[in-house]
Structure 1
Amino acid sequence: MSDFKIQSVLITGSSRGLGLEFVQQFLTSPNPPQKIFAACRNPDGPQSQVLKNLSEKHQNVIVVKMDVTDPSSVNESVKEVEKHLNGKPLDLLLNNAGILSHTNLESQTSEDMMNVYNINVVGPMLVTQAYHRLMKRAEGTGKSAIVHISAVLGSLADLPSLFSHYQVISYRCSKAALNMLSRCHSLAYKQDGIISIAIHPGWVKTDMGGDQAPLTKEDSIGAVMKVIYSLSEEQSGTFVDWEGKSIPW
């Protein structure tokens, strides 16, 4: 399969950073999705103002309240999204919400590890679990896709090259776990016509990435969008960077 058709997309963590950039780039794509579900924890908060402005200007942007770590919040969001889909499947789930904590082996605490893991791993697990039924495809009716925003720092093979400069223990462990979750999804949901892939967006200038990062949000997400729109069944279960190049596990 090539030229992946996206009529509907759900993006978690969409109030700022890469998530907000995804919303903006889907809006300006040649064939924008009919439904762009922009999920965030606090739609009425000041951080969500840009997102709210977009939804007021564009009818296809629907802001959805969702705390990815809260099962009841996730399940409530499913009800809202399902009403707007009108019986159609959700084409793309973009598990983007995530956090990074600057810890090393000496400063790492159990509380921080559990908090980061809860958002970066348990969150995508709960969201995908809840939205699975909306993504299922009957044979011959196309494909849906789950895109997990991962990081090269979760690569076990590449660990030695960056470890001394950037330990971030809880973040590394969470992204390695997210990669495993992505592979499990690729196997378990294959029979439902669902692709699952983990994508490293690069080191990007955001609140999380910092000012020293070499990539802008526009360049990173623009490249990731090309990877998404060209997704094929053969890519399911892989780990790639923003340009579609394979990353070792």
Structure 2
Amino acid sequence: MITGKMIVVTGGSRGVGFGLVQQFLRRDNVVIATTRDTTRAHELQKLAETAGGKLIVHELDTSEVSSIKHWSNDLKEDVPHVDVLINNAGVFGRRLGFLELEAEDFLKTFTTNTVGPFLVSQELYRQGLLGGERGQSLVVNISSVMSSHGDQAKDNSGGGAYAYRASKAALNIINKAMATDLHQHGITSVLIHPGYVATDMTDYKGHISVQESTEGIMAVLESGKMLNDRFFSFRGEELPW
């Protein structure tokens, strides 16, 4: 069980991110949850008020380089080490057809879903907060089966979602490179598909609840399986990508 650790969850104010914040708190961890706008993260703030100091809410926009750098500098002043980093913050983007998509749709989606997780991981490593002499760290990059060209599950049926699919596929290869470069420095990097979850990102049309998804994710992370450079679904199945 993951307990007594320092956890960072980006995009922790809603959906799967908020569910993971709750899961880690139940296991007696200290959780730093980030959100783009702390004044609008009402449920997260309410949870922090009842968490006995175990939940700290930070403002972070993972699509802005300056925001990531400022946040990581502040974090270093308050936290000696991050045991688990959940790169969860992400966007789906505009739901447009093949002929309607524009370059800007790809750029905005990639900035948040691909570049953001990389820069957050990079900055925490640069600040000495991941791996190293202070202990092992686990980096969990929330991907999607929609990024896979080898999986034909119902969650990956159909076409469309070009920018989202491409941004998560790019995140997958970033995870692979991180798994190769950073494992020797005490950092494990794993990809997780949370499932097609009923959240605002999916217009609440998902097949599973946030609770089912996050319980499954925690089971994978606590399974004792070799995680580095692997891609798992919330059900524990290893996915091709």
TM-score normalised over the length of structure 1: 0.89
Native 8 Å contact 1:6 1:91 kept in 2: no
Instruction: Report how far residue 162 of structure 1 moved.
Output: 6.9
Match of residue 198 from structure 2: 205
| Counterparts of 1:120 and 1:108, CA distance in 2 | 17
Q: Indicate the SS of the match to 2:201.
A: coil
Match of residue 63 from structure 1: 57
Instruction: Report how far residue 105 of structure 1 moved.
Output: 2.1
Match of residue 78 from structure 2: 84
Instruction: Report how far residue 126 of structure 1 moved.
Output: 0.9
Match of residue 153 from structure 1: 146
Match 1:134 to one of 125, 129, 132: 129
State the 4+ residue runs in structure 1 displaced beyond 4 angstroms. 3-6, 159-164
| Farther off after superposition, 212-221 or 164-173 | 164-173
Match of residue 45 from structure 2: 52
| Counterparts of 2:156 and 2:227, CA distance in 1 | 28
Q: Indicate the SS of the match to 1:145.
A: strand
Superposed counterparts of 1:97-136, under 5 Å: 97-101=89-93, 102-132=95-125, 133-136=128-131
Distance 1:160 1:54, change over 3 A: closer
Native 8 Å contact 1:9 1:91 kept in 2: yes
Native 8 Å contact 1:113 1:170 kept in 2: yes
Amino acid at match of 1:194: I
| Residues 179-223 of structure 1: CA deviation (Å, up to 9, x unaligned) | 001111101101111000010000000011233321000010011
CA RMSD of aligned residues (A): 1.9
Residue-pair matches, total: 237
| Counterparts of 2:227 and 2:24, CA distance in 1 | 22
| Counterparts of 1:227 and 1:217, CA distance in 2 | 15
Higher RCO (CA < 8 A, seq sep 6+): 1
Match of residue 17 from structure 2: 19
TM-score normalised over the length of structure 2: 0.91
Q: Indicate the SS of the match to 1:198.
A: strand
Q: Is it true that 1:143 corresponds to 2:151 in the alignment? A: no
Match of residue 7 from structure 1: 5
Q: Indicate the SS of the match to 2:202.
A: coil
| Counterparts of 2:58 and 2:213, CA distance in 1 | 24
| Counterparts of 2:218 and 2:106, CA distance in 1 | 31
Match of residue 236 from structure 1: 228
